[in-house]
Structure 1
């Protein structure tokens, strides 16, 4: 593939690492560091491309042994069926243990209330934080990257959360020379981001190089969608479309995967990895900026959610 060849270092040194090799090495180091420092780590796994790459890295980091972490998914009840099918198939394939925190169960129990706009993405925080506390997870891996959004750009690789799972930017610790401080008090935990220094393009080039399987919604396909706030949203039980919003069938794909009510598709004819990579390389909008309605609630929407316990 041309995408793989482009990753080769421009040097005669046979021991020089390519750009993707360097990112992979850093992520593997972080995964192994957590395994050595913490007692009950867990990988947040949504079935999206970043968590898929993170799981792939964990499998490589500890091979031939099984990975020493279980998986955790916050199920909003409005997830894409293709992604849930991929999640369950992956868990079965590798014999992994999956914890599920269900937003629907919290709504049914009266602990959460549906929002007027139908989106459940902001409702994930309480089920997530209570599952972390109930299972006593002391380190939680997330697939967040600094290129996605400005609040994520200023977060450390090891991000300390207090006993209420809240994030205080003023309590961040220095990480000089790739030294990570996992010390935490009882009740606190650390969010860990092995892909912090990756870009969306890096992720796709790595997927191509490693031949990683993805849910089919990441590639161009026909889907019934409607326009809202400059995005193509999928029609569904979550409350869309409203009166005056017309459903049409378009050739689209998804750059990021989240709750159906706030994750927009993009017009695309990219059906192969090379086509997707060419599309991403030409884009001037981040995936979240282009396709995530939950980040448009305010200028500080992501940071506000992170302070409350969101990833």
Structure 2
């Protein structure tokens, strides 16, 4: 199978909003979809300058699809923002640009490399740049005067994300305080904030990885081809298969092999591993995820293995 090809296609049109599928009652996916669309519309109605974090990964693709459905037949009424580490997979960047062009979106890009070049950030000894995204993200939010930032985080991904509300307040420094969480009873979301503060909005908080894949299969949402099984040169490190690329090179004692793998998450290429898989279609991925006992971050993200509180520490500093 070609790595530049995905076996799912985008439907020719978006179904009418609120339309119930013929001969079907409301399913769990329908309810999750309705909740997410409600959240997106509420944020757009309440805030002046929302933006959507869009990396080209499956969760941000899903939120973008839900936003398109929320405002169809009109266009999505806010820009998308990508914090570019410079260590992205080429296939993901191509997909990002193709999606932005297809939907007629405004793309804002904050580049970590710019911060390294001018001395505002320093390259880490381990080579990973995921933890360097925080300052470019906060600066981009301030420059765009964005008072609400949509993201594709889900509660099942990590213990820190499980603590977070759907509408999550950030202080003047973009930081998150897990002790300062507002109640969200009866689907009522409090977005009030003082000047200088902003909120992060998570429309798919209540989705699981399996929900995401089942919905992608149902809606035939296009994704970067890395998510499906393909042959790739990889090497084993820390219990994960790392792709051979300029950002992740094997050490002298690490043997390069050609394996059939796929990616469960497509973050920074210098800290994201693949899993062995023969799931070459979206339906096969759904079946594989249903059997899995590990979250995608726990299975394939080296940056989350630094410590038990790795994600929470980054979130407190302003990371998404």
Q: Smaller-chain TM-score range?
A: over 0.9
1:297 aligns with one of 306, 310, 320: 306
Q: 1:290 to 1:239 in 2, by over 3 A?
A: closer
Matched, 1:221 2:230: yes
Q: Where in structure 2 are the equivalents of 1:32-181 lying within 5 Å?
A: 32-181=41-190
Q: 1:60 to 1:108 in 2, by over 3 A?
A: same
Note the alpha carbon deviations across 1:180-218, whole angstroms, 9 max, x for none: 000011010000000000000000000011010111100
2:39 aligns with one of 30, 53, 59: 30
1:239, 1:196 → 2: CA distance?
A: 31
2:30 aligns with one of 17, 21, 43: 21
Partner secondary structure for residue 170 of structure 1? coil
1:47, 1:303 → 2: CA distance?
A: 23
Partner secondary structure for residue 133 of structure 2? helix
Q: TM-score, normalised by structure 1?
A: 0.94
Q: Where in structure 2 are the equivalents of 1:254-265 lying within 5 Å?
A: 254-265=263-274
Aligned to 1:288: 297
**CA drift at 1:160:** 0.2
Aligned to 2:3: none
C-alpha contact (below 8 Å) 2:248/2:269 kept by paired residues: no
2:49, 2:252 → 1: CA distance?
A: 48
**CA drift at 1:249:** 1.2
Q: 1:108 to 1:194 in 2, by over 3 A?
A: same
The alignment covers a number of residue pairs equal to 298
Aligned to 2:16: none
Unaligned regions of 5+ residues in structure 1, if any?
A: 1-13
**CA drift at 1:242:** 2.2
**CA drift at 1:280:** 0.3
C-alpha contact (below 8 Å) 1:240/1:261 kept by paired residues: no
Unaligned regions of 5+ residues in structure 2, if any?
A: 1-22
Aligned to 1:10: none
Aligned to 1:6: none
1:115, 1:227 → 2: CA distance?
A: 22
Matched, 1:308 2:317: yes
Partner secondary structure for residue 180 of structure 1? coil
Q: 1:239 to 1:286 in 2, by over 3 A?
A: closer
C-alpha contact (below 8 Å) 1:226/1:247 kept by paired residues: yes
**CA drift at 1:239:** 4.5
- Give runs of ≥4 in structure 1 deviating > 2 Å: none
